[in-house]
């Protein structure tokens, strides 16, 4: 199920943190979870896809971060002048 546009970044940040926690666990257990199990084939594929997606997201986000901040500040200024 997709995220609603008004909370997609909040929901995804929470899910990404969960994935980071899982990666940290795998780092502590030689690539396996705390039960000694490796990722399933589909999870391994998704893990690798997430690496590519994270790189793309990081590149895009760095390029547009200033514009996002400017847009947010302009909105705040408009709200202050009302």
Give the span between the Cα atoms of 29 and 33, in whole angstroms: 6
Output the CA–CA distances (angstroms, integers) from residue 72 to 27, 45, 65, 81, in the order listed: 37, 36, 11, 15
Mean pLDDT of 14-27: 97
Please tell me the predicted confidence (pLDDT) of residue 79: 85
Q: Average pLDDT over the chain, rounded to whole?
A: 93
Output the CA–CA distances (angstroms, integers) from residue 19 to 13, 23, 35, 72, in the order listed: 10, 6, 16, 28
pTM (2 decimals)? 0.78
């Amino acid at each position: 199920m997709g995220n609603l546009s008004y909370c997609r970044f909040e929901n995804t940040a929470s899910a990404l943190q969960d994935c980071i926690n899982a990666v940290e666990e795998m780092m502590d257990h030689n690539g396996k979870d705390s039960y000694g199990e490796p990722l399933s084939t589909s999870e391994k594929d998704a893990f690798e896809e997430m690496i590519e997606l994270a790189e793309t997201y990081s590149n895009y986000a760095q390029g547009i971060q200033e514009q996002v901040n400017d847009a947010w500040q302009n909105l705040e200024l408009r709200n202050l002048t009302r």
